[in-house]
Structure 1
Amino acid sequence: MSDLFKAAGLEDKAPRPLADRMRPQRLSEVVGQDHLLGADGALTRLLRGGALGSMIFWGPPGSGKTTVARLLAGETTLAFVQASAIFSGVAELKKIFDAARARRATGQGTLLFIDEIHRFNRAQQDSFLPVVEDGSITLIGATTENPSFELNAALLSRARVLTFRALDAAAIEQLLERAEQVEGKPLPLDADARAALAAMADGDGRAALTLAEEVWRAAKPGEVFERAALAEIVQRRAPIYDKAQEGHYNLISALHKCVRGSDPDAALYYLARMLDAGEDPLFLARRIVRMAVEDIGLADPQALVVANAAKDAYDFLGSPEGELALAEAVIYVATAPKSNAAYVAMKRAERLAREKGSLAPPKIILNAPTKLMREEGYGAGYEYDHDAPDAFSGQNYWPESLAPQKLYEPVERGFEREIGKRLDYWERLRKDRSQS
């Protein structure tokens, strides 16, 4: 029936939201994503090279993920298929995959766009792997959640993650100017109210256009609204911060540095500001976990436990009760002893691994499940530490061509002071046994 309406032209006459009417028809019309779509943008380079590959679009709502995915199909010879993780199940995915394989047999590829891909469970995410690997589909998944936490490692390894940014004030202004051209009339707001509307959109282009549409509906001929009148019309106040100035990244940086600097009061202040402005509490929870591992580490191993528990408590309780768990975690990590020794050690280990390549471990610590491996010396000479004096054999576990390295250096604070004592003790035993 909808096809009949479309053929008769009736659908074109139906009322459509401003945001839908203004949906870009070309990639060049997408605003706020120059790092992806500019002259040297990541997507621009991929299109120039003629091979897209599977991708995950990660970014906040209203940043253009769905629009860009649709437009990409038009830039290629791929058939565009769209599905939502909210409404699609295994049966529908199987039909999509079978159709994609059929197209591939005729020489045409398929660009499959999955909105809210993080809502698929692990098994459903795994179902994409065969059709991505054999080239039946080029997958583009859109998500507002951190892919590292929400998507399978196997799927992530086969797709490139592209980050969409929340629209800044300049990008929102571009949208409003285009909206005025489409509507054929200026937005009835003074300069201050116009800036407030952009702040209310909070980086969401779709929200900005929806708010503008509400303003046009409310305005009488010749009426121009000030900031206070705008708030009354849209029933929404401007956030405590906007992303063009102090913003999301500045305040999360402030929160992190207050924790690192052991100031729980200032840390709580910035936490409260971000929550009051509508920041995603789970984003904050993840950042607190990062603080626990990056800035506290083994000086207080309990910090990671508390941070993870706060995230789980928020998941369980929701808002506003769960926000107290985040506050408790912020106080804990801010008052915990600090050490980045584990962070520094890992960076050293990564650098060493890159520089030295694929060195084989010594045979003494390799298992020998077969006769041939035993004859080759696998496991020969290994000393079981629990049978050694002090449960410490002091063997050298480094590759034969690589001298033992010192990567982890515990600080003299918190629990790491005890770890340092243990390492010194084992080093004395190692030297004593090498001399005996």
Structure 2
Amino acid sequence: MADLFDQIPDDGPKAEGPRPLADRLRPRRLSEVVGQSKVLSPEGPLGAMLGAGSLSSLILWGPPGVGKTTIARLLADETDLAFVQISAIFTGVPDLRKVFEAAKLRRRNGQGTLLFVDEIHRFNKAQQDGFLPHMEDGTILLVGATTENPSFELNAALLSRAQVIVLERLTLADLELLAQRAEQELGRALPLKGEAREAMLEMADGDGRALLNLIEQVAAWKVDSPQTREALATRLMRRAAKYDKSGEEHYNLISALHKSVRGSDPDAALYWFARMLEGGEDPRFLARRLTRMAVEDVGLADPQAQSVCLESWETYERLGSPEGELALAQAVVYLALAPKSNGVYTAYKAARALARDTGSKMPPAHILNAPTRLMKDIGYGADYAYDHNAEDGFSGQNYFPDGLRRPVLYAPPERGFERELKKRIDYFAKLRAKRQGE
């Protein structure tokens, strides 16, 4: 009986279906890759490896749409390695075994394998460990791609056998170059006015693939004249900013907010505060962090800062979003413009360290209570000077353990309210010296 497929007439070669613009513009040489000259130039890490003919296993770390897959494919071409691509999302242990067996067979036949693993951070520890022997014996040259910080997501053993290459988000200039290449491929200019074109580049948010997808949409419009920024905003949805509330972006942005406040830059602080809110951050987390800034970075230079943060937090709890977020924004500006001091923070850490080193020393006997006759007999409370009865309300007695040289833990800077505190410290130091000399 003839096979069913033998009965289907052969109409010759089939016409190729439409290809996405991103695929049509995929670079054919490393020199065509946009935006990654720091790593691909002859002086860059990848350029130097290729120049020396010694490509090692790699982890390509960078945001979406910056060319990780393209670079891996072109590296295979440059080194005459078979290119095999898998995704950690869809690949299990049985699939990995097949990949490794095929690579071993390829190696016996004289060809190496560049194994590109997309989203490599999705593999668990055991799966990541499975790559190690095949990397070590040369069966595969591993190129992993990840959008997450490898330090947090990849095993130390794997990282020790691969070089991390950091790929950067594309700049507006890089995106403009991509847009020009797209127009050459399409054979016509995009129907956008200058301000609308700039807005489209901004919508891509540094993602080249996203930009080409936007360009395909714009190129398909049937319009008679260049469109304005407003028309573009109506026709296209703005791409959501990259923000992972539990990952790298969370820590990057909160660090930027904290350091902008510490650096007394209210505009930058408001920007990062807004970026986190736009990304969906919980305002209560921000309220807690602002309070921490008041304690750590403003301190007693402005004792009111902590109250401002707590009150803004309480206002948010009463009003909710979005109105309550304005109270938090006010706290951001207040903290940024407040005088800064870590005097107490530094003194606290020094006190904790001193306490760890001298933790068994007793307080001096004269400041110990003596509720029993025995305790009085052995000297508890003897010769204690009641400060309220002393001249100037200050006795100048020693309150550190006997034998411990008096340290200076709190040294307030002459900023804000701590100027007054420094005056008091200096005043009491002079009185103490006077009392001890009497």
Name the TM-score, length of structure 1 as normaliser.
Answer: 0.63
Shift of 1:42: 1.6
Query: Is 2:89 the counterpart of 1:74?
Result: no
Partner of residue 374, structure 2: none
AA at the equivalent of 1:27: L
Equivalent-residue separation in structure 2 for 1:97 and 1:414 (angstroms): 58
Q: Does 1:231 align with 2:238?
A: no
2:32 maps to amino acid: E
Matches within 5 A, 1:91-102: 91-102=94-105
1:330 aligns with 2:331: no
**CA displacement at 1:271 relative to structure 2:** 3.9
The structural deviation recorded for 1:261 is: 5.4
TM-score by length of 2: 0.63
1:116 partnered with 2:119:
yes
Q: Deviations over 1:355-388 (max 9, x none)?
A: xxxxxxxxxxxxxxxxxxxxxxxxxxxxxxxxxx
1:172: which partner in 2? 175
* Distance in structure 2 (CA, Å) of the matches to 1:218 and 1:276: 33
1:29 partnered with 2:15: no
User: Counterpart in 1 of 2:276?
Assistant: 275
Question: What's the offset of the Cα at 1:259?
Answer: 4.8
Cα distance in 1, alignment partners of residues 264 and 187 from structure 2: 55
Structure number, greater radius of gyration:
2
**What are the Cα deviations for residues 125-178 of structure 1, in whole angstroms up to 9, with x where unaligned?**
111111111111000000011111111111111110001111001110110000
Structure 2: gaps spanning 5 or more residues: 243-249, 299-342, 363-402, 404-438
Q: Distance in 1 between matches of 2:346 and 2:84?
A: 56
Corresponding residue for residue 307 of structure 2? none
Closer, same or farther: CA 155–126 of 1 in aligned 2, 3 Å: same
| 1:156 counterpart = 2:183 | no
Shift of 1:332: 3.9
Is 1:187–2:190 an aligned residue pair? yes
Query: CA distance change for structure 1 residues 84 and 185 in 2, over 3 Å: closer, same or farther?
Result: same
Any conservation in 2 of the 1:271–1:327 contact (CA below 8 Å)?
Answer: no
> For the residues of structure 2 that align with 1:238 and 1:133, how far apart are their CA atoms?
41
What's the secondary structure of 1:196's corresponding residue?
helix
What secondary structure, in the 3-state scheme, does the structure 1 residue paired with 2:168 have?
coil
CA contact (8 A) 1:254 1:270 kept: no
1:41 is displaced (CA, Å) by 2.0
Query: Which amino acid in 1 is paired with 2:222?
Result: A
Percent identity for Structure 1 against Structure 2: 52
- Alignment-mate amino acid for residue 274 of structure 1: R
Q: Which of residues 415, 421, 431 is equivalent to 2:354?
A: 421
Deviation by residue 1:179-204 (Cα, 9 ceiling, x = unmatched): 01000000111111111110000000
CA shift in 2, pair 1:239/1:57, >3 Å: closer
- Larger mean Cα displacement after TM superposition, 62-71 or 265-274: 265-274
Query: What is the alpha-carbon distance in structure 1 between the residues aligned to residue 179 and residue 345 of structure 2?
Result: 57
Secondary structure of the residue aligned to 2:91 is coil
Q: CA deviation at 1:325?
A: 4.7
Change in 2 beyond 3 A, CA 1:330/1:209: same
C-alpha spacing 1:106/1:333, structure 2 compared with 1 (3 Å): farther
Q: Is the 8 A contact 1:267 1:330 kept in 2?
A: no
Q: How much does 1:32 deviate?
A: 0.5
Question: CA separation in 1, counterparts of 2:191 and 2:296?
Answer: 55
CA deviations over 1:223-244 (Å, ceiling 9, x no partner) = 211100011111227979xxxx
- Amino acid corresponding to residue 74 of structure 2 in structure 1: L
Matches within 5 A, 1:13-412: 13-220=16-223, 222-236=224-238, 254-260=256-262, 269-276=270-277, 278=279, 320=280, 323-337=282-296
Q: CA 1:126–1:259 in 2, change beyond 3 Å: closer, same or farther? A: farther
Please say if residues 262 and 336 of structure 1, whose CA atoms lie closer than 8 Å, have aligned partners that are also in contact.
Answer: no
Distance in 2 separating the partners of 1:423 and 1:197: 58
CA distance in 1, matches of 2:98, 2:344: 58
Q: Shift of residue 250 of structure 1?
A: 11
Any conservation in 1 of the 2:256–2:272 contact (CA below 8 Å)? no
SS in 1 for 2:283: helix
Instruction: Find the aligned partners of 1:326 and 1:219 in 2 and give their Cα distance.
Output: 47
The number of equivalent residue pairs is: 304
Aligned-partner SS, 1:114: strand
Q: 1:329 to 1:25 in 2, by over 3 A?
A: farther
SS at match of 2:128: helix
Aligned equivalents of 1:108, 1:84: Cα separation in 2: 22
Shift of 1:25: 1.1
Residue 79 of structure 1 and its aligned partner are, at CA, apart by 1.1
Q: What amino acid maps onto 1:425 in structure 2?
A: T
